[in-house]
Chains A and B, each alone.
Chain A
Amino acid sequence: MKRAWVILLTGVALGLCSYCGFYFAGTASYRAMLGSATPELTWLKNEFHLSDAELQSITQLHAAYLPQCAEMCRQIDAKNAELQQLLSKSSAFTPEIESKLAEVAGIRVECQKNMLRHFFEVGRSMSAEQGKRYLAWVQARTFLPEHGMHQPASFGSPNEHGHR
Chain B
Amino acid sequence: MNARNTNEQDVRLDVLLHEWKADAALPPRFQEEVWRRIAHADTPVRIPWWAELWQLLEAAFRRPALAVVYVTVLLLVGFGAGLMQAREKASQVDHTLEARYLQSVDPYLKAR
Task: Choose the segment among A84-92, A95-103, A124-132, A147-155 that binds chain B (4+ C-beta atoms closer than 8 Å).
Answer: A147-155
- Would you call B101 an interface residue if the criterion is a C-beta within 8 Å of the partner chain's C-beta atoms? yes
Interface contact A148-B77, CB-CB below 8 Å: no
Main secondary structure of the interface of A (DSSP, over half): helix
Complex alpha-carbon distance, A133 and B24, angstroms: 109
CB neighbors of A among B61-80 (8 A): 61-62, 67, 70-71, 73-79
Main secondary structure of the interface of B (DSSP, over half): helix
Interface size class for chain A? 35 or more
Complex alpha-carbon distance, A27 and B82, angstroms: 10
- Would you call B107 an interface residue if the criterion is a C-beta within 8 Å of the partner chain's C-beta atoms? yes
Q: Which residues of B contact A (CB under 8 A)?
A: 54, 57-58, 61-62, 67, 70-71, 73-79, 81-83, 85-87, 89-90, 93-94, 97-98, 100-111
8 tightest Cβ-Cβ pairs between the two chains A and B: A26-B86, A162-B103, A22-B82, A18-B78, A15-B74, A43-B97, A19-B78, A15-B78
